Amino acid sequence: MNRDKLIRELRAVVGDEYVLVEKEDVIVYEQDGSIMQAMPEIVVLPGSAEEVAAVVRAAKQANVPIVPRGSGTGLAGGAVPAEGGVVISLARMNRILELDLRNRLAVVEPGVINQDVTKAVAADGFFYAPDPSSQAACSIGGNIANNSGGPHTLAYGVTTNHVLGVEVVLDDGRVVWLGGQVPDCAGYDLCGAFVGSEGTVGIVTKAVLHLMRSRESVRTLLAIFDRMDAATQTVVDITAAGIVPAALEMMDRLTIEAVETGAPVGYPRDADAVLLVELEGVREFTERGAREVHEICMHHGARQVRVAQDDAERLRLWKGRKGAFGALGTLAPNYYVQDGVVPRSRLPEIMRQIATISARYHLRIANVFHAGDGNLHPNILFDMRTPGELDKVIAAGEDILRACVAVGGSITGEHGIGLEKKAYIGLLFSDADLNAMAKVRKAFDPDGRFNPAKMFPTPITCAEMRRAPAKIPAGLWI
Amino acid sequence: MRDLTIDADRLARELGGMLGAAVQRDPASLRAHAVDGLVPQIRCAPKDTDELCAILRVCDASGAAVIPWGGGTAMHWGNPPSRADVVISLEQFNRLVEHDDANLTATVQAGMRVAALQELLGGRHQCLAIDPPDPQHSTIGGTAAANINGPRRMAYGGVRDLVIGMKMVLASGEPIKAGGKVVKNVAGYDMCKLFVGSLGTLGIITEVTFKMTPLPETAGTVVARGSLAQTASLIEALFGSVLTPAAVTVVDGRVAAAAGLQPAEASVAVWAEGFTETVARHVRDVQAMAGQSGMTTEVVHDIGHRRLWETVRDFGAVGAPPVVFRLTVPPADVMPVLAVVCRLSDGGALRYVAHAGTGTVWLAFDTPAPVTAWFPRLAALAQEYHGHAVLAAAPPEVKRTVDVWGPSPQALGLMQELKRQFDPHGTLNPGRFVAGI
């Protein structure tokens, strides 16, 4: 490629100040929330769909890869420029373009921060349901690329259930709408296929989001268990009883220890598990639901069930859960988070297996996760400075993923495949299954220009990949 | 250009060699499987995926056009096929593979009848919260392929939201799977989304895994009668409230009468379900709101509730009227759109069922005459509200004069390329999808 010519073209499109090429400028784009790193060659920050399209055309002309990037909070290396080329940051495209509360719609640019959508409509009694734990920093474009979840997606669904349409820039610079302002648009559900495609088929430049009416009442309970088995069985029984909480979160003994060391909230250190249950709906539903959840917890021998009486207490109950991720730093210098999912009926079994894997590798694993939808987050604690330890951690992580698949689960519930798990996607899908996905990719992006070396189990061909401790902005949680 | 005439005798012999008695050529059976008047030459019913793969391999190689067939309840959907040689029935794919009730999921073979599935699920206090018309005959695979949604979509989501896994066989005869049996899963592309609503043009669905819904403790419906204007004001109040109904549906007087209700210019039915106290609260509040809009209400339970929602569910599909349109518009625009439509029809032969929570408006006419005049008008009206209109049912000779899916989508080129990738020979349901895909 003629690098200088490309840089000149990009500068002509977006202006000199929005094309970064010096090492000290591009270094902040070498990593996301994962442990993968690769130094970008060129970073461009377009300000409009037209500029994105022109950048894409220039990159195509120069025959270099394109890596879209939102806020860089992804945990699977999806925004790392593994094969070099042009990183397109959508951070400047951060306007909320339209709020249509009558129709419960918001039209936003991809760089809008997730939490800002809810902030813009909360006073009118609405919210945007998908709430990834990084919602104070992550962008809607990144959420769409990764089909992000969050603790409250148990009742309300993940990103794909709340995106009606996306305007995207295709590989040749064409700008098209997939889906629209209503569901069931004529033809294939390309919007549905686009959400979760991890930046491999195009770049979203506008999105139509579905807003929800705020619920009348919220009830939050926290149950403390002496045995993990009893806690996981409680989750199974709440689900089987037909109560669908808005959130159903779990923390294990090691996480409790971290929380009580780092930012104490009064969990008993000798407890084996803490379960956080939140019900939302009309008052009659939450009152009755909370009563039944309480009974199920007691039936399984909960040592104590705390019920929030007001908003302040509710925030207190959540504080430990939200602080858990940050508090893990008090136990070990580094941790590596996995994202496997299992059928909820298999939760007790998988937690036992994770304990076995932990013992086998002599690695401590702290579990803090979305129990209600079976989405695990085992955090493997380690010290990067110990030679060979990271490899051991990755091997233990792989064992956990294999265990999840063996009970009918998946290797990722909300973080995505990216670079991190592309070697494992074959655990779930046959060559024929992956070949069908490749057909979709080919229909959108025949040259494979968008985000190469991600998701599919192909080797990385050029750039030098490195591993380093994850850089997660302070205050974020998972 | 491939030769599009096939040697049906030779093909039947080849398929017969593989399947034996499961290959049918008797004229009466073939006529019963005509699609928009086009009678196929062969009907076969594979007993498992291996047989289905073998049939597709043979058909794809010989240039035979394949029509996948579930319960035959949605065959009025789509443009008339350009060719129809072999009907492949999924009738032997009729088992519930797994109901993991503690995980709230079920895996079902595509040819299973919806009613039969609901009965098995009901035995364990769960259901599939999709209400396709004619559940005695409609199948799981057909419901997914045609993206058939019902009134409760506003509360539980549509087919695309409830499907979490699938198995399918591509035109080449290659079996693939997508998704899985966990409710949260972002491994790879979300291939299920492409197959939901693809009307059998990308592959044949053989198995679907769904999220289940617990059977509610109780259910009831408030029906409020009045003018269209009163109906609009009640719906606005309802959507401004904190209530979480399962369905909110507006019907005209004739549909109300068919549902066993007292007819009025318009009736709104508000379905509430869940805990007894939750339903009681909804009934109380909706009645109060209806009173404020000056409407008369009645509350129906049990048989009355079931009859009403069965009428709504089957509207435009069972005992099909000659012409049915489906308009999809943003939810708050349902009543303005309905008002325009009623004014245009001027008390004519129009009947409607409009789901105010999801923006789906079904219009039925008793004569085929209005299509030429009405379709462009409805398409323009829907577009004005950022929505779209589809001709859901009409006699074949009428359908041949239009594209029933309306104006081509902006991304048509991508869709055509996707079809080429998955079905390069145009074997599956040729011509029935958007712009003749």
Domains of chain A listed by start with CATH number: 3-91+442-467 (3.30.43.10), 96-213 (3.30.465.10), 217-406 (3.40.462.10)
Are B307 and B239 in a shared domain? yes
Task: Tell me which chain A residues have a C-beta less than 8 angstroms from the C-beta of B126.
Answer: 242
Residue A134, min C-alpha distance to chain B (Å): 17
Instruction: Transcribe B32-73 into DSSP letters.
Output: HT-BTTBPPSEEE--SSHHHHHHHHHHHHHHT--EEEESSST
Please give the biggest Cα pair distance in chain B: 71
Q: Which residues contact A164 (CB under 8 A, 6 or more apart)?
A: A105, A179, A180, A181, A182, A183, A191, A208, A209, A210
Contact between chains at B180 and A283 (C-beta distance less than 8 A): no
Q: From first to last of its 478 residues, what are the pLDDT tens digits of chain A?
A: 589 999 999 999 999 999 999 999 999 999 999 889 999 999 999 999 999 999 999 999 999 999 999 999 999 999 999 999 999 999 999 999 999 999 999 999 999 999 999 999 999 999 999 999 899 999 999 999 999 999 998 999 999 999 999 999 999 999 999 999 999 999 999 999 999 999 999 999 999 999 999 999 999 999 999 999 999 999 989 988 889 999 999 999 999 999 999 989 999 999 999 999 999 999 999 999 999 999 999 999 999 999 999 999 999 999 999 888 889 999 999 999 999 999 999 999 999 999 999 999 999 999 999 999 999 999 999 998 999 999 999 999 999 999 999 999 999 999 999 999 999 999 999 999 999 999 999 999 999 999 999 999 987 776 677 888 776 655 556 5
Are B302 and B366 in a shared domain? no
Residue B425 in contact with residue B56, Cβ under 8 Å? no
Q: Which residues pair with A272 in a beta bridge?
A: none
> Please, what's the b/e burial string for A354-392 (b: 16 or more CB within 10 A of its CB; e: otherwise)?
beebbeebebbbbbbbbbbbbbbbbbbbbebeeeebbee
CATH of the domain at B248: 3.30.70.3450
Query: Among partner residues A160, A240, A439, which is closest to B101 by beta-carbon distance?
Result: A240
Q: Does A432 touch chain B (CB under 8 A)?
A: yes
Q: How confident is the model at residue B374 (pLDDT cuts 50, 70, 90)?
A: very high
Nearest chain B residue (CA) to A425? B187
Asked if residue B405 is part of any domain, the answer here is no
- Chain A / chain B CB contacts < 8 angstroms: 249
Q: At what angle do helices A347-361 and A389-406 cross, to 10 degrees?
A: 160
What is the rounded CA–CA span in Å between residue A227 and residue A159? 34
- Mean pLDDT, rounded, for B207-232: 97
The last residue of a domain, from among B214, B232, B263: B214
β strands within A119-181, DSSP E: 126-127, 163-169, 175-179
Q: Does A196 touch chain B (CB under 8 A)?
A: yes
Q: Does A97 touch chain B (CB under 8 A)?
A: no
Q: How confident is the model at residue B333 (pLDDT cuts 50, 70, 90)?
A: very high
Are B276 and B327 in a shared domain? no
- Mean pLDDT, rounded, for B29-51: 96
Q: Residue type for A240, please?
A: A
Q: Which of the residues A159, A219, A282 would you substitute to probe the B interface, choosing the one with the greatest number of B C-beta atoms within 10 Å? A: A282
Asked if residue B3 is part of any domain, the answer here is no
Instruction: Transcribe B299-341 into DSSP letters.
Output: EE-HHHHHHHHHHHHHTTTTT--SEEEEEE--GGGHHHHHHHH
What is the rounded CA–CA span in Å between residue A145 and residue A72? 12
Query: Among partner residues B170, B196, B242, which is closest to A215 by beta-carbon distance?
Result: B242
Secondary structure letter of residue A215 according to DSSP? P
Contact between chains at A186 and B409 (C-beta distance less than 8 A): yes
Contact between chains at A187 and B409 (C-beta distance less than 8 A): yes
β strands within B124-174, DSSP E: 126-127, 163-170
Task: Tell me which chain A residues have a C-beta less than 8 angstroms from the C-beta of B176.
Answer: 430, 432-433, 435-436
Q: How confident is the model at residue B369 (pLDDT cuts 50, 70, 90)?
A: confident
Kindly list the strands in the beta sheet with B42-44, ordered across the sheet, starting from the edge strand earlier in the chain. Answer: B23-24, B42-44, B86-89, B66-69
Instruction: Please count the structural domains in chain B.
Output: 4
Q: Which of the residues A184, A219, A283, A431 would you substitute to probe the B interface, choosing the one with the greatest number of B C-beta atoms within 10 Å? A: A184
- Look at chain A and count its residues: 478
Residue B271 in contact with residue B151, Cβ under 8 Å? yes
Q: Which of A475, A134, A468 is CA-nearest to residue A326?
A: A475
The last residue of a domain, from among B214, B237, B256: B214
Are B333 and B293 in a shared domain? no
Residue A403, min C-alpha distance to chain B (Å): 14
Select the more confidently predicted residue: B229 or A1. B229
Task: Tell me which chain A residues have a C-beta less than 8 angstroms from the C-beta of B329.
Answer: 182
Q: Does A104 touch chain B (CB under 8 A)?
A: yes
Q: Which of A395, A251, A437, A415 is CA-nearest to residue A340?
A: A415
Asked if residue B375 is part of any domain, the answer here is yes
Sign for the CA dihedral angle at B328, B333, B338, B343 comes to negative
The three-state secondary structure class of A75 is coil
Residue B135 in contact with residue B115, Cβ under 8 Å? yes
Q: How confident is the model at residue B1 (pLDDT cuts 50, 70, 90)?
A: very low
What is the rounded CA–CA span in Å between residue B249 and residue B73? 23
Q: Does A215 touch chain B (CB under 8 A)?
A: yes
Are B223 and B201 in a shared domain? no
Q: At what angle do helices B228-240 and B334-345 cross, to 10 degrees?
A: 170
pLDDT in the model for residue A125: 97
Residue A43 in contact with residue A26, Cβ under 8 Å? yes
Asked if residue B197 is part of any domain, the answer here is yes
Helix then strand then coil, in percent of chain A rounded to 5, is 40, 20, 40
Domain that includes residue B263, residue range:
218-314
What is the rounded CA–CA span in Å between residue A229 and residue A184? 43
Are B112 and B55 in a shared domain? no
Asked if residue B32 is part of any domain, the answer here is yes
Residue A154, min C-alpha distance to chain B (Å): 9
Asked if residue B412 is part of any domain, the answer here is no
Residue B124: CB atoms within 10 A of its CB come to: 15
Asked if residue B146 is part of any domain, the answer here is yes
Alpha carbons within 13 A on the beta-carbon side of B215: 13
CATH of the domain at B191: 3.30.465.10
From residue B373, alpha-carbon distances to A186, B344, B366, B377, B378 in Å are: 21, 11, 15, 7, 9
Q: Which residues pair with B225 in a beta bridge?
A: B267, B296
Are B84 and B100 in a shared domain? no
| Percentage of the residues of chain B whose pLDDT score is greater than 90 | 92
CA A274-B274-B116 angle, to 5 degrees, is 105
pLDDT tens for B175-217 read 999 999 999 999 999 999 999 999 999 999 999 999 999 999 9
From residue B255, alpha-carbon distances to A2, A44, B231, B311, B342 in Å are: 69, 58, 16, 8, 14
Asked if residue B151 is part of any domain, the answer here is yes
Q: Does A407 touch chain B (CB under 8 A)?
A: no
Contact between chains at B414 and A153 (C-beta distance less than 8 A): no
Query: Among partner residues B126, B202, B275, which is closest to A284 by beta-carbon distance?
Result: B275
Task: Tell me which chain B residues have a C-beta less than 8 angstroms from the C-beta of A370.
Answer: 184
Query: Among partner residues B183, B188, B333, which is closest to A455 by beta-carbon distance?
Result: B188
The last residue of a domain, from among B314, B341, B375: B314
What is the rounded CA–CA span in Å between residue A147 and residue A195? 6
Are B346 and B327 in a shared domain? yes
What is the rounded CA–CA span in Å between residue B232 and residue A210? 22
Are B35 and B113 in a shared domain? no
What is the rounded CA–CA span in Å between residue A249 and residue A238? 12
Contact between chains at A408 and B181 (C-beta distance less than 8 A): yes
- Give yes or no for residue B347 having a pLDDT over 80: no
What is the rounded CA–CA span in Å between residue A103 and residue A117? 15
Are B29 and B121 in a shared domain? no
Are B239 and B292 in a shared domain? yes
pLDDT in the model for residue A473: 58
Q: Does A428 touch chain B (CB under 8 A)?
A: yes
- Mean pLDDT, rounded, for B107-132: 97
Residue B75 in contact with residue B24, Cβ under 8 Å? no
pLDDT in the model for residue A408: 97
Alpha carbons within 13 A on the beta-carbon side of B329: 23
- Mean pLDDT, rounded, for B297-303: 97
- Give yes or no for residue B9 having a pLDDT over 90: yes
* Ramachandran assignment for A41, one of left (phi > 0), alpha (psi -120 to 50 degrees), beta (any other): alpha
| Percentage of the residues of chain B whose pLDDT score is greater than 70 | 99
What is the rounded CA–CA span in Å between residue B311 and residue B351? 12
Are B210 and B223 in a shared domain? no
